[in-house]
Each structure stands twice: as structure tokens, then as C-alpha cells.
Amino acid sequence: MIKQRILVIGCSFTKQYGDIDDPYTRWSWAEIVQQKLNDRGYSTKTYNTSQYCSSIFAQWHNLKFYLEQSNKKFDLAIVQLTTPGRMTYIENEIDYLHYLSKLEPGFNGVENYLEWPHDFSVSDYDTFKFNSRGFLHLNGGTAAMGKRTSELKEAYLTDNLYSLPFSTPMQNDITLLIEKEMRRLCEHHGVPLIMFRWFRYPGNDDKEFWQQTADFCLSDSIPDFYDYTVDDGHHFGVRGNKKLVKEFIFPRVINTLGEP
């Protein structure tokens, strides 16, 4: 019987990647956490709701859904904050909310671990239209991936060139406001929160600014951070994710959940 539920909200940094020398073994840090909890006899269930390239707007939207509308009581939320400058487009919010509940067993089949399947959590970067679950996440990199375009991609590019909230430093201020609101939301619902940042946004390298909301920032906390990245997107493979779990996530999780 499940006694405690863990909600994980992240972006691609919380999905599974393989190490460079072993691309076929892929573990997300969230699945590693649940595996370790199983090994220690905890009756927990982890819901990894992370989607590739998710925006802070989608993370906020999804957090509200899971805390307020999903009919599940979570005992811990772990939010891996995504970077500013991303946008999410949704074809139909009701359909999207429906899909938020449709998590499936994880990549490695760890017991009591659910996540968005890879194919459903990737946006369509070929046509830049909605994917099979009716959403599209864009950032500067993904929007520049193909020659094809769509009204969503055009809107994203125009926003980044000209809209006041996205073409100026205001995007960092908006990101921080939303991060604070996500923290307030968890406090309001009595859900303990671990909130961390993968790396500081290059567009605003002000360490103190970003420290206002995150418990820790991985790129600041791991001296040899880049040794663990497996691609230009700063993703970790198994080796990096194990280190992240061992040194940063798991001690905080155990501290929050108590004894099994």
C-alpha cells in the first residue's frame, strides 16, 4: 500500500539520458530516487511529470493541476526549475489536463514509478505543430531546429524579438515571480518542497538573483558539473544523475519523508 506520494516537475533535465560511453543505459534521476526508496523499504510512489523543453509557465500550470485538481495528496514535491525564455502552446486545455493524469510506467520499469512516456513528452520539432497530446514547448534552440515553420513557431520568434515580457530582461523577472508563486503554492497546500535549478540562465548570471527561489543550483554546487554533462544541452547521464541523487536529492527526500 502506498503511504507517500512524490510529485516531480521538471523538464528534460529530469528525463532519462545515457552516458557518452554507455548511451543505452538511461535513467532519470527521478526513477533512481524511487528505486532507492524501494530498496530501503519505503512505501512511496513517484510521479515524474517532466516534459522535454517544458516552460516555467507549463511547470506552474502543471503544479497547480497536480496540487489542486488531480485528487491526489502529495507528501513531497520536487521541482527542477526550467530555464527562462521558453514558451508552451496548448491546443485544448481540457484535453491537456486530461493527459496530465495519464502517466505510465517508467523507462526502466521501476516499481511505483510513473512518468510521461518519452514519445508523448517530446514536442514536434519537425513541423512545430502540436504533438499527439496537443502541446508544443519551444526554446531558442528547438525553435531553430528545422526549416519548417508554423503559426506557433512564428509567434514564439516574434515574441522573442519584440514582446516586452520576452525580448527584454523582464523575462527573468517574470520567471522569478512564477518560481516564488510555485513555492507559495506548495506552502499553501502543506506540501514540502525541494526546488532546484539545473544551471543559471546565461542571460542573467546574477547568482544572488536566482538564489532567491532555489534550494540549490546544480552547476554552482557541483565543481566538475560539466564533466557529467553528456551533450550541449547540459543533460546528465546515469553517472551524473546518480551523483545528483546521492548528494543533493536523496538526503533531502529522506529528511522530509522520515523513516520508512
Enumerate binding residues for another protein (CB under 8 A).
55, 57-58, 60-61, 64, 87-91, 93, 151-152, 154-155, 158-159, 162-165, 167-168, 170, 173-174, 177-178, 181
For another protein, the closer of residues 151 and 227 by Cβ is 151
- Of 3 and 98, nearer to another protein (C-beta) is 98
User: Which amino acid is it at 211?
Assistant: Q
Cell of 53: 523543453
Burial class (CB in 10 A: 0-12, 13-18, 19+), 24: exposed
Beta bridge partners of 18: 26
Q: How far is the CB of 125 from another protein (least distance, A)?
A: 17
- Backbone φ and ψ for 172, nearest 5 degrees, come out as -70, -40
Distance (Å, rounded) from C-alpha 92 to C-alpha 11? 21
Least distance from C-beta 91 to another protein, angstroms? 7
Among 138, 113, 127, which residue's Cα sits nearest to residue 52?
A: 138
In angstroms, give the least distance from the CB of 51 to another protein. 12
Dihedral through CA 136, CA 137, CA 141, CA 145, nearest 10?
-10
Query: Residue type for 24, please?
Result: Y
Taking the least distance from each CB to another protein, the nearer of 162 and 226 is: 162
Shorter beta-carbon distance to another protein: residue 127 or 256? 127
3-state secondary structure at position 22: strand
Closest CB 33 distance from another protein, rounded Å: 27
C-alpha to C-alpha distance for 29 and 229, rounded to whole angstroms: 14
In the complex, what is the shortest distance from the CB of residue 196 to another protein, in angstroms, rounded to a whole number? 21
183 vs 239, which CB is nearer to another protein? 183
Residue 236 is placed in which grid cell?
Answer: 546528465
| Cα-to-chain-centroid distance, residue 72 | 19
CB nearer another protein, residue 173 or residue 215: 173
The minimum distance between CB 148 and another protein, in angstroms, equals: 16
Shortest separation between residue 63's beta carbon and another protein, angstroms? 10
**Collapsed DSSP state (helix, strand, coil) of residue 204:** coil
Is 155 or 254 the residue whose CB approaches another protein more closely?
155
Angle of helix 56-68 relative to helix 93-100, nearest 10 degrees?
70
